[in-house]
A and B are shown apart, each in its own frame.
Chain A
């Protein structure tokens, strides 16, 4: 029971990370494709203004997920970190590069430096979710055995399911970012930008949908356990994701950008949870179940208490953060340039 509560917190944290930090990575993806320094300036300014105040808080969800894993499921953490150390190291470097380059870009005024830091920020925004996706694929396809460095350090993450996971992570991030940025632009009365991101959200939404559809075939061949989970217990969520995904495309065309945020996020959450539900009660697919992987109850009890108290402080603070920067007119959000 306690183990399931901890798993719930963990999964909630991962969901928040995908929806919030995922979009921050996606914003970097669009930053990369925004064009030259002159033609892309307004897009980059919008991107900086949108993610500037929130990206650090969003990023903490990853740390949250890591520490909950190592406290609640120590052996699982050890197994994942030691076998998948190559993609995780890549993720770590991507995070360093992304965060610091973004902060640096905001702090300097020379165009050449802005360009260099901007490129680093944008490139790492694509690399990081890709490797996180490969990690997810490795776990979901049952390639991470228990124990320290027992898995193949290469093929555990370089395989069809992991590649699919990586590509999907990049696409989903970009899609969410485009959706959020469309609304941010609209609120700031930047209709040209709103249209720009609306088109991109549409294209990326379709691409993501196609990838997910083809991905089912990949899973059928490469990860039968996951495929089985998605087509049985996870099926309602898979269907929900298709519905929300289709609805989102419709709302995009109808320019209902506020409702769109919700449906787009729900479509992503549904996919994520379809994986979670399909794989449950295994924490490492086909390897170990939640009850066996969990730390002893004494530890979990303190963890659950801490997580509850922490959430009671955290959630109002998060609400304050987002309401502060979402409610007030966005034009006032000057980003220091």
Chain B
């Protein structure tokens, strides 16, 4: 399940972010920028492939929800199922207008065609919102009463708008735009590094990069709020994120390190910083992992801690890239062209993906051993049917094959586009 989610999340991000990029490019294209139009066409073709893969991997998730976690769904479906139903509709809209957008270049006037892309953007963001509300609920389960271990009085709206919802959804949606922007930019940075310096490749780099770097500072602010939300509502997760073994007054911020025997070793400590960041007071108390019995603590503390540090670290590096772009733009009235900047932009794409996955590891692994925080253990949610293990092995193989195939196909699209740019611009349809 974790594998499927971690894999699907990349495609989902592109599904949320890519339509906006395509529409910006198409908008410029309609206003006479032939290179931007070529970009829009190419990206649309890529989107066609990515959406298909995202759609089917998303379907697998809905199967797995039942196949792997029947007890979670059976018990709590009435409580947190609603956002999935809403997401289903958002997904419908996405698929319908994607069908129109991809296949009706020559059936609609340019402006109408552009307009047909707008519902895709809205529905993409909406579906991300709905699905993440369900995840937020797992972190902050609300909207039901437990009587003898069984759910009564479900209130789906209360469940949907729990305390974790606002920050988690915004954090995820911004992440989706960042991942898309940096990832697309990195493709064109690679092309530039190989000597393609024409205008098409310049726009292909700069346009998504601007989108992504504008969002980065906002994301850091939201991330900070998210961390404080976790500090208030899931203190144990925060303790794991920071590697805090024992409850501490005026806890320090720990960077790096390995968690051994209830202690974070080899970490760089910034005294009092964590207490200030999490609680707004340098002498505040930060709850440690030892505050609950061992069975209620997350196990993989080192993983959670390092994943969190990596996410934050990459976030600030991406911010630095944005500042680089901005400073250079102001001083020279144009984007940087140095090879070092291109190299930085090249690694920013994979970097953003790594940061997003680390964030996801932080929130999911950090919630363990609970699947529904403090309510249901992951071990109690799983399907006891025999033989499931083999299903997971096969799944791993299928995902590997699918990843390779996707990359091969995207490579082919790129190559076809480079070789025959004009034919591409006229054919267009997938």
Residues of chain A within 8 A of B153, CB atoms compared: 296, 298
> Nearest-CB distance from A57 to chain B (Å)?
4
A108 with B409, Cβ < 8 A, contacts A63-B62, A100-B56 known: yes
> Nearest-CB distance from A52 to chain B (Å)?
6
Are A302 and B156 touching (Cβ within 8 A)?
A: yes
What interface size band does chain B fall in? 35 or more
Cross-interface CB contact of A95 among B59, B84, B98, cutoff 8 Å? B59
Residues of chain A within 8 A of B70, CB atoms compared: 77-79, 81-82, 148-149
B 406-430 binary contact with A (CB < 8 Å = 1; else 0)? 1011001100100000000001111
> Nearest-CB distance from B85 to chain A (Å)?
5
Interface assignment of B74: CB less than 8 Å from any CB of chain A: yes
Interface assignment of A41: CB less than 8 Å from any CB of chain B: no
- How far, in angstroms, from A266 to B72 measured CA to CA in the complex? 38
What interface size band does chain A fall in? 35 or more
Residues of chain B within 8 A of A75, CB atoms compared: 74
B 38-65 binary contact with A (CB < 8 Å = 1; else 0)? 0000000100110111011111101111
Cross-interface CB contact of A79 among B51, B74, B75, B103, cutoff 8 Å? B74
Are B92 and A100 touching (Cβ within 8 A)?
A: no
Cross-interface CB contact of B394 among A57, A71, A93, cutoff 8 Å? A93
> Nearest-CB distance from B65 to chain A (Å)?
7
Cross-interface CB contact of B402 among A59, A70, A80, A96, cutoff 8 Å? A96
Are A92 and B77 touching (Cβ within 8 A)?
A: no
Residues of chain A within 8 A of B157, CB atoms compared: 302
Interface assignment of B316: CB less than 8 Å from any CB of chain A: no
Stretch at the interface among B28-36, B299-307, B379-387: B379-387
Residues of chain B within 8 A of A96, CB atoms compared: 56-57, 59-60, 398, 402
Interface assignment of B277: CB less than 8 Å from any CB of chain A: no
Cross-interface CB contact of B96 among A93, A113, A317, A328, cutoff 8 Å? A317
- How far, in angstroms, from A57 to B106 measured CA to CA in the complex? 20
Residues of chain A within 8 A of B282, CB atoms compared: none
Interface assignment of A333: CB less than 8 Å from any CB of chain B: yes
Are A70 and B65 touching (Cβ within 8 A)?
A: yes
Residues of chain A within 8 A of B59, CB atoms compared: 59, 62-63, 92, 95-96
- How far, in angstroms, from A98 to B157 measured CA to CA in the complex? 36
A77 with B93, Cβ < 8 A, contacts A82-B66, A108-B409 known: no
Are A56 and B74 touching (Cβ within 8 A)?
A: no
Interface assignment of B374: CB less than 8 Å from any CB of chain A: no
Cross-interface CB contact of B412 among A54, A109, A299, A336, cutoff 8 Å? A109
Are B388 and A324 touching (Cβ within 8 A)?
A: no
Interface assignment of B2: CB less than 8 Å from any CB of chain A: no
Which A residues from 53 to 107 make CB contacts under 8 A with B?
Answer: 53-54, 56-57, 59-60, 62-64, 66-68, 70-75, 77-83, 85-86, 88-89, 91-93, 95-100, 102-104, 106-107
Cross-interface CB contact of A153 among B106, B386, B409, cutoff 8 Å? B386
Are A103 and B100 touching (Cβ within 8 A)?
A: no
A306 with B79, Cβ < 8 A, contacts A81-B73, A96-B56 known: no
Interface assignment of B155: CB less than 8 Å from any CB of chain A: yes
Residues of chain A within 8 A of B324, CB atoms compared: none
Are A74 and B77 touching (Cβ within 8 A)?
A: yes
- How far, in angstroms, from A298 to B81 measured CA to CA in the complex? 12
Interface assignment of B373: CB less than 8 Å from any CB of chain A: no
Residues of chain B within 8 A of A108, CB atoms compared: 409, 412
Interface assignment of B152: CB less than 8 Å from any CB of chain A: yes
- How far, in angstroms, from A53 to B107 measured CA to CA in the complex? 13
Residues of chain B within 8 A of A109, CB atoms compared: 412, 416
Are A78 and B103 touching (Cβ within 8 A)?
A: no
Interface assignment of A217: CB less than 8 Å from any CB of chain B: no
A148 with B74, Cβ < 8 A, contacts A62-B59, A96-B57, A96-B402 known: yes
Residues of chain B within 8 A of A110, CB atoms compared: 412
Interface assignment of A335: CB less than 8 Å from any CB of chain B: yes
Are A56 and B98 touching (Cβ within 8 A)?
A: yes
> Nearest-CB distance from A11 to chain B (Å)?
15
Are B52 and A66 touching (Cβ within 8 A)?
A: no
Interface assignment of A321: CB less than 8 Å from any CB of chain B: yes
Interface assignment of A239: CB less than 8 Å from any CB of chain B: no
Interface assignment of B95: CB less than 8 Å from any CB of chain A: yes
> Nearest-CB distance from A332 to chain B (Å)?
6
Residues of chain A within 8 A of B88, CB atoms compared: 60, 63-64, 67-68, 310
A74 with B56, Cβ < 8 A, contacts A81-B70, A296-B152, A332-B106 known: no
Are B81 and A74 touching (Cβ within 8 A)?
A: yes
Interface assignment of B405: CB less than 8 Å from any CB of chain A: yes
Residues of chain A within 8 A of B102, CB atoms compared: 53
Cross-interface CB contact of B48 among A103, A117, A318, cutoff 8 Å? A103
Q: Nearest residue in A to B53 (C-beta to C-beta)?
A: A100
Residues of chain A within 8 A of B104, CB atoms compared: 53, 324-325
Are A153 and B387 touching (Cβ within 8 A)?
A: yes
Are B56 and A81 touching (Cβ within 8 A)?
A: no
Are A70 and B66 touching (Cβ within 8 A)?
A: yes
Q: Nearest residue in B to A71 (C-beta to C-beta)?
A: B81
Interface assignment of B391: CB less than 8 Å from any CB of chain A: yes
Interface assignment of A167: CB less than 8 Å from any CB of chain B: no
Interface assignment of A37: CB less than 8 Å from any CB of chain B: no
| A-B CB contact pairs (8 Å), 13 listed | A74-B78, A78-B75, A81-B383, A89-B67, A99-B53, A99-B56, A108-B409, A148-B70, A298-B153, A307-B85, A313-B89, A317-B93, A318-B92
Residues of B that sit less than 8 Å from A by CB? 45, 48-49, 51-53, 55-60, 62-67, 70-71, 73-79, 81-82, 84-89, 91-93, 95-100, 102-104, 106-108, 119, 152-157, 383-388, 391, 394, 398, 402, 405-406, 408-409, 412-413, 416, 427-430
Known contacts A67-B85, A71-B85, A298-B154; 7 further A-B pairs (Cβ under 8 A): A60-B88, A77-B73, A91-B63, A92-B64, A108-B409, A113-B412, A298-B156
Residues of A that sit less than 8 Å from B by CB? 52-54, 56-57, 59-60, 62-64, 66-68, 70-75, 77-83, 85-86, 88-89, 91-93, 95-100, 102-104, 106-110, 113, 117, 148-149, 153, 295-296, 298-299, 302-303, 306-307, 310, 313-314, 317-318, 320-321, 324-325, 328, 332-336
Closest 8 CB pairs of A and B: A81-B66, A71-B81, A74-B77, A78-B74, A103-B52, A295-B78, A310-B89, A78-B70
